[in-house]
Every structure is written in structure tokens, then in C-alpha cells.
Amino acid sequence: MEAVRIIELTIRQEQILDIVKSNGPITGEQIAERLSLTRATLRPDLAILTMAGFLDARPRVGYFYTGKTGSQVLSEKVKKLTVHHYQSIPVVVNEASSVYDAIVTMFLEDVGTLFVVDSKSSLLGVLSRKDLLRASIGKQDLESIPVSIIMTRMPNITMCTKDDLLIDVAEKLIDKQIDALPVVRNTEEGSGFEVVGRITKTNITKALVDLAKDEVI
């Protein structure tokens, strides 16, 4: 698993880690002296190693090695990500919409899941591609069939909030074998849930890419 750390860090950062492992706690000036560099030159590397979790620093004491591998640091970063950082704008349809309208909306918005809401944006149901495909089979008049007939209804909807951990939402997507979850908050009346966002497999993928590029918010 150490290969993860080697790939992520530069040669100089690896050298700094080795020095701190063997001699910590050690000051920045002492590290710079061992590498025959100035303290200013090392400052960005020390900041990166500290923010990434490889090193810790104590005032008037110096730097010391946390003992964490690259995989452990990455795991800790993943467990801190919340839905709020990666949620998208929800695509919704009104409960009075027809199946035909829903199909058109899904096509135009290029999404795989629609959320059915009432006039106050309260969540009533969820529509997937499979739901619309099943409704389209046969000779039914899609313009006369309301989405309320084919949607998954409350309380059988898996939801999340903006403060939920992204890793927990990812597990829900896998367990339920669904493509997206509505991000909700309690309505002012407290009797339902208002749809404020969506979290999809694409959002999860973006988070992984950001982690790999060390661009996590």
C-alpha cells in the first residue's frame, strides 16, 4: 500500500518524510539544513505534507511523522466528503405531468432520474429510466397517463441530506442499485421533504477524480 504514497509525493517530499521519520520532532530549519536548502524553499512541501496528513507540526517543537500511509490519508479524506460539496441541481416534474412529458424532460435534461414534486416542491416520488421504459411498452396513450401511477412513492424513497457523508450515499446507491438520490431538507411545515439537489454516480465519480488530483474542496 506504500506505493500509493510514492506515486502521490515528489522525491523531495519523500526525502522530507524520511528525515522526519528518523529524527522527529525536527524543525523546518533543521530539515532544510540536512537537504542543503533554504527554509523558504521547503515551506510549500512542508505545508503540503502537513495538510495531507503525513506530518503534524507543533509550535516551538517541530515536525513529526503521523505514521499514516498514503492509503490511510486517502481514506480519511474520503470519509470527510459530504453531499453538499458535490450535489447537482435536481431535475423535477410536477405530479400532474404525464408520462410523455416526463420522457421529454428526461431526454432534454439528459438525466437518468426525475423527482416528482407538488406545487411546494415537496417530494412525492421518483421516476427512473426503467419506470418510463416499462410505461412505454404497449399501445398506451402516454400523454394520458400521469406520472403518479408509475413513480416510486414515499415512503419507499431513499433520500439524503447535504450533510450526509458521500461515502454513505455511495453505499446506498450500490445497495439499492439506483443511479441517483434526492437531496432533501424538511419543509417549513415539517410534514414533508423539499428537494434541494441530487447526488448521482457521476457526482461520486467526480469526487474520486478530485481526490486523485488532490483537488478536494
State the Cα–Cα distance between residues 68 and 8, nearest whole angstrom.
Answer: 14
pLDDT higher than 80, residue 47? yes
Distance CA 188, CA 8 (A): 46
pLDDT reading at 114 higher than 90:
yes
pLDDT digits (tens, 9 = 90+) for 176-192: 999 999 999 998 777 78
Q: Over the stretch 79-94, which tens digit does the pLDDT of each residue have?
A: 778 999 899 999 999 9
- Residues 134-154 have pLDDT tens digits of 888 877 889 999 999 999 998
In whole angstroms, give the CA distance from residue 163 to residue 186. Answer: 13
Confidence tier at 171 by pLDDT (50, 70, 90): very high
3-state secondary structure (DSSP) of residue 71: helix
pLDDT cut 90: percent of the chain above it:
47
pLDDT at residue 4 greater than cutoff 50:
no
- The domains found in the chain, sorted by start residue, are 2-76 (1.10.10.10), 83-210 (3.10.580.10)
pLDDT at 35: 92
Q: How far is residue 85's CA from residue 125's CA, in Å, rounded to a whole number? A: 25
- Model confidence, pTM: 0.66
Burial of 194 (0-12, 13-18, 19+ CB in 10 A): middle
